[in-house]
Every structure is written in C-alpha cells, then in structure tokens.
Structure 1
C-alpha cells in the first residue's frame, strides 16, 4: 500500500521463525524500513541500537520514508522453488559448518521508495528471513540508496537489547548516496549484502571460518537482490 508511516496488516508466516528464542508466526512490514512481529511499528524517527526497549525489530533501513508519490513495498514467502535453493546455497557459503537447508523464505522489498515528504528520491533495499526449523537467518540487501540528511538505523535489535547489531554507517553521513556504506559494505564479501544468524546469541558472521564483523569491500558490485514474483 502507499502511505506515509504505514504498515502491512499482520502477515501469517508459512513457517514459524525463531528470533533469538522467540518463536513468531506473524510479521509486519512497516513502511519506514523495518519489520516487527507483535504489532505494526509506525515510528519515523530512528533510534540507535541498542534501544533497551520492548520490541524485537529487524531494520534494514529505518528512517522517515514516504511512498505516497513513488515507490512500492512488496513481500512474498516461499516454501519451495528455485529462490529457496538460492538462499540455501548462499547461507551455506556464509555459514559453511551448518549444512543448512532452507524450508522457508520471506522477502520484503522496499522498491524505489522516497524520503518524507514525497521527495521523489528513489531508494531500494530488502530484508530476507529464512529458516530450516532450527537455524534462523536474516539477510539485508541494498540497491541504490538516495542521498539524504536524515538519520538511518540499519541492523537489528531485540527486547531489552539482549542481542543487537548495527550495520557500520548507521547514523552517519556515510549511510546514503552513491558511496553508501550499506551498499558498498558487506560482512559476507558481496557488496550490498549483510547476513546474520538470529536464532541464538551469535553477533558475528563467519565467512569461510574467518570473523568478518564489519568488512568494507570495494570491488566490482554484484547484484545483491533476490527477485521473486511480486
């Protein structure tokens, strides 16, 4: 839907998703660049993680967005098909010791959305949730990020901030524009992609066994987005 500070209705998940010990069967896709589980989240003023609050939140790009003039927000979920296999392959590349086989993926895409108030800017990013029933992962993918002076919080936070992660560049001038730290950086060697295991306390992604907490990699950009049916 097109609105300012809106949210999707409750979306029933085809598989339950374990987020740091809480098993969720529904999700909300919020227009201001984040996902929540227990209710919609309308806040257009990002707060720095850790918030020490009462919300489990996955925030690929929390800021004041407005898609009344341009931009669309899509979500889709799969329990089979080629995209499921692609995500399975990617997770096993990033976390090679787990022998992961995805049985579900949920993809939320904010496509060419504008900053408030209907500025005509175009910013594209994506959050991907996947699980095999035991392990849970979140991928954040970044396309073109329009420049803005607004603050951006990217990462995730949990109730009481028992687990949290902030993508480098959040709340800085490096967050947006052609040299966005989100779209040029990565913790899995693919500029524009960030991967996190979220079923337990691990805050650090491992790539081929090496700790890669906040690598900034500036080489030929591959396409980080997953393209499914809209």
Structure 2
C-alpha cells in the first residue's frame, strides 16, 4: 500500500464551477478513508477554482488556487478537459500531473480530496477506469503537495504515489483495451516553455512501470518525491539537487542538459562512486563537495580496467580530459560518519560537452566488512557511518 490514509475533508461537488475560489472544507474522513468524492462520475470534467491551503512558488509564478481535472492532473490557470496528453512543455498551462490520461469514472472509480491540515493537500484517483466507461482495468494513484515554507517562502514538495497501474490509454486516444495509442504522461510543467519534468516511460507503454520504480528507495516502489525550491528546477544548486530513479545497483538520473551548465545530483554515501553515462553528451567536468579531508581520487576507464587519473580537492572543478562516458571517485573517508538523512551529504556537480537529454548512472562503491558482535553493532555503524546502497534520503 503506497497511499497515506489521513483525516480527509469533503468538498461538495455542487460547489464545482463557482467563479470564486472555494476553500477546502473539512467535513470528515468519509467511508473511503480518502474523504468523500467531490467530482460526480464523469468523463473530462473538472472542479471549479479551489483554494490551496498554502501559497506555492511554482517556478516563479505564485499560486493560491488550483483546479482538479478528472484526467489525472491539477492545473493553476484554468480547468483542463484534454484527455490525450501533450508532451511537456505545454504553453500557458501550469500543471502537476501524476497520470495525465483519459480517466473515465462513469464505469468505476472516484476522485477524492484531502487537506487534513494547513500544510498538506492530496488528490486521490482511486480505482478509476478509462474512456469509454471501461472497467476491465483500473488505476489507483495519488498526488500530495506539502508546504515547505520552513525552507523558504513558497517552497513545497510534490509526491506521486502509484498503488496500481493497469491501463495507459483511453479509446479516444487511439487506445484499445486500455493500451496502445498515446499513453499517459506523468510529471510537472510550469507552462513557461522552460521548467518541466517528465517521469520515465511517459507517453509510452513503460509508464506502467512507475508503480514498480521510485526515486526514494527500491523498498518504496510507486513513490516519487520532488522538492520545488526557490522557484527553480531541481539540479540548479546543491540545496536543490536532482533526484534519481532507485535501482538495485545504485541511482539512475534522467534529465536535460545545456552546454557548460552545471547540474547537481544527490546520491547516498559510500566510500566512492562510479559514474556512467548511458546516453547523451559526455561528462566534461566534475565538482566534488567538501567532506572529511576534502581530498579525492579520480579514476578513468581505459577500456579494460580502472586507471588512476589524478588527486582532486573538494570545491575545485576537475576537467575530465576531452570528455568521458564514465569515471570513478574514491577517497570518501569511512570515519566521516555521514547522516543518511542529510540531503546534501555528497552532492556532485557535473558539466557536459554538449546539450540534450542525458541518462546518468551513479553506483555507490560500498565497504564490505564482517558483521560485528550484536552488542557492538550500533556503535560500529555509528563510528564508520556505513550506509547500505539501497537506502535513500527524503529531501528536506
């Protein structure tokens, strides 16, 4: 079970369509555990303008209101009835979309809302079918917005939670039996043509894999978390790094890059890391964080084995020859005793020798040691600061 079942509010469907922003009214949890359905069974409908429980800075645009659209998304400028997802960016339509597709609740499923406190908003699409009134496959997914004004005015977190994904496409989007055609898209879009994020598999059959993947931990399949800070895209600063897909061996990053622009990625900590470029422009340089003695080793691949290249100091941008598709960093001290919940513990800066989409793997090199006696185990871990590769930090 991925969803959080919290005390939920009721928003009466009869209020939808009002020109004024409607506050979220807390009438109780309802029989579902997600609140009370606030949209009638429908195809392509939306609520009226609703009041956000807190103000957000969505990439330089401040919003206090929003619309919930039946087709798996919320928007901020106006309601949206489009059922076939357009590739992001979409002009003048700021949107957060856990699963933008042709949802049809006339056959099965409901859409629910919750705002249990002033710092939380959640929308749940529970057991929803697809157009036209299909019930043979259903999807259950959730969007959660969390106020993070404690880190800066307008800052917030976005969670996508996928419990069950069985269909990708409605019949009117050229689908057949819920598949094929133009599949669903997941992500967010500021509507400015610049700031957007598309989750892996969007607009392909692989979008169903979102329920089996995570950028938090392999142990939390279906959970995706994003930190929106200071109105800028993740990756633009060490305090707001990109978060990857968690894999069995490490972390996979998918993002767009520009020539010479540095991007910050946020891994867990081990004694070193291997960085692999799966696709896109080559690695041009690396900037490593201040940690311990601030001294690292960079190793390069000669085609058959790793070869020591240079000693590198923290804070000094190191050029990776004429561009490489992989490199290794060693020298992270065992005695540092890093906090695994610290989101900026080892944030790496990368530049690339070109522009375009890239896919980067960052695999931790972990220290293998014998398990100590039980009574000394907790002290042992605290002293060495060992972190299991499968663990993942939640951004602050």
TM-score, reference length from structure 1: 0.75
| Aligned CA distance change for structure 1 residues 217 and 22 (closer, same or farther; 3 Å) | farther
**Alpha-carbon distance in structure 2 between the residues aligned to 1:175 and 1:109:** 18
Conserved? CA contact 2:216–2:245, under 8 Å: no
The 2-side partners of 1:71 and 1:4 are apart by: 12
1:70-113 superposed Cα distances (whole Å, 9 cap, x missing partner): 1000011132xxxxxxxxxxxxxxxxxxxxxxx51100000000
Partner of 1:131: 147
Mapping of residues 30-179 of structure 1, within 5 Å: 30-51=69-90, 53-79=91-117, 104-120=119-135, 121-133=137-149, 134=153, 135-147=155-167, 148-150=179-181, 151-176=183-208
1:196 aligns with 2:226: yes
- Aligned partners of 2:157 and 2:225 also within 8 Å: yes
Is residue 2:276 matched to residue 1:215? no
Gaps of 5+ in 2: 1-39, 168-178, 250-396
Distance in structure 1 (CA, Å) of the matches to 2:92 and 2:65: 17
What is the root-mean-square deviation of aligned Cα atoms in Å?
Answer: 2.2
Q: How many Å separate the matches in 2 of 1:210 and 1:138?
A: 15
Note the C-alpha offset of 1:129.
Answer: 0.7
SS at match of 1:160: coil
Between 26-35 and 189-198, report the one with greater CA deviation: 189-198
Asked which structure has the greater CA Rg, the reply is: 2
CA distance in 2, matches of 1:61, 1:141: 10
Instruction: Tell me the SS of whatever aligns to 1:175.
Output: helix
> What is the deviation of 1:4?
0.2
Tell me: higher relative CO, structure 1 or 2? Use CA pairs within 8 A at least 6 residues apart. Answer: 1
State the Cα distance separating 1:170 from its structure 2 match: 0.7
Q: How many correspondences in the alignment?
A: 188
Q: Which runs of 5+ in 1 are unaligned?
A: 80-102, 219-230
Q: Which residue matches 1:84?
A: none
Q: TM-score, normalised by structure 2?
A: 0.45
Q: CA deviation at 1:210?
A: 8.2
Q: Check whether the contact 1:205–1:212 (CA below 8 A) recurs between aligned residues.
A: no
Structure 2 match to 1:94: none
TM superposition outliers: structure 1 runs of 4+ over 6 Å: none
Q: What is the CA-CA distance between 1:213 and the residue it aligns to?
A: 2.4
Distance 1:58 1:66 in 2: 19
Distance 1:138 1:212 in 2: 12
Deviation at 1:160, TM superposition (A): 2.0
How many angstroms apart in 2 are the aligned matches of 1:205 and 1:216?
23
Mapped to 1, the partners of 2:120 and 2:186 lie a distance apart of 20
